[in-house]
Amino acid sequence: GAVVSQHPSRVICKSGTSVKIECRSLDFQATTMFWYRQFPKKSLMLMATSNEGSKATYEQGVEKDKFLINHASLTLSTLTVTSAHPEDSSFYICSASGMVNTEAFFGQGTRLTVV
Amino acid sequence: DAKTTQPPSMDCAEGRAANLPCNHSTISGNEYVYWYRQIHSQGPQYIIHGLKNNETNEMASLIITEDRKSSTLILPHATLRDTAVYYCIVSNEKLTFGTGTRLTIIP
């Protein structure tokens, strides 16, 4: 399958700082990228959908000013957690899709710990 | 997106076929059935997807009933590395994950 690379895989940051997570599609052009978060022993929760060159669409209850998403090119999307707090500690996962009704491929995830 | 119902857990003996059921009775005509799995602390892995015909690839087979209200994922010869949480998703756009089935392969 296609390769989606997420960086970093783990990050620890201090409360109040911002953290940027990158998601790259390495061997295909991703017209749509999705961002999820997952708490321990829970399922993935969709946070937002981003299409290249346009603003992201956020799911209900997800603060767009706290979770900034940029999808500036067909191979890169970034999620910035601004003014992080301990409750933002979670496993963040991106996925990328080339076309509608085709499979999406997932990154390996980023474990964020806010101390 | 239509909702799916999966058993919370299943066991399967190593070397046997693992059959994972999924109910999606409210599926609409343009929604595909996708299967993903997640091994602990990793991103989900794509397995297979289909619209109405049965599908097979190197990993698994997907059997969709004629009325499309349910489907079965078949892993033909389960190995210990197939132990994971398996998610059945119906969608025509974004993938919304339910609680999945925790499949444990028994040696």
Evaluate if residue B2 carries a pLDDT over 90. no
CB contact under 8 A, B46 and A107: no
User: Which chain B residues are within 8 Å of A44, Cβ to Cβ?
Assistant: 38, 44, 97
Low-confidence ranges of chain A (pLDDT < 50): none
Q: Inform me whether the C-beta atom of residue A103 falls under 8 Å from chain B C-beta atoms.
A: yes
Placement of tokens 């059921």 in the chain: B21
Determine the pLDDT at residue A101.
Answer: 62
Interface of A with B in 66-95 (CB under 8 A): 91, 93, 95
Q: Beta A90-97 vs A57-58: how paired, if at all? A: unpaired
Give the closest residue to A62 by CA, choosing from A82, A86, A41. Answer: A82
**Residue in A closest to B48 by C-alpha:** A103
Q: Do A20 and A82 meet the contact criterion of CB atoms below 8 Å apart?
A: no
* Alpha-carbon A21 to chain mean position: 7
For A47, the token pair is 């946070």
Alpha-carbon distance B56 to nearest alpha carbon in chain A (angstroms): 15
Determine the pLDDT at residue A100.
Answer: 65
Placement of tokens 């980023």 in the chain: A110
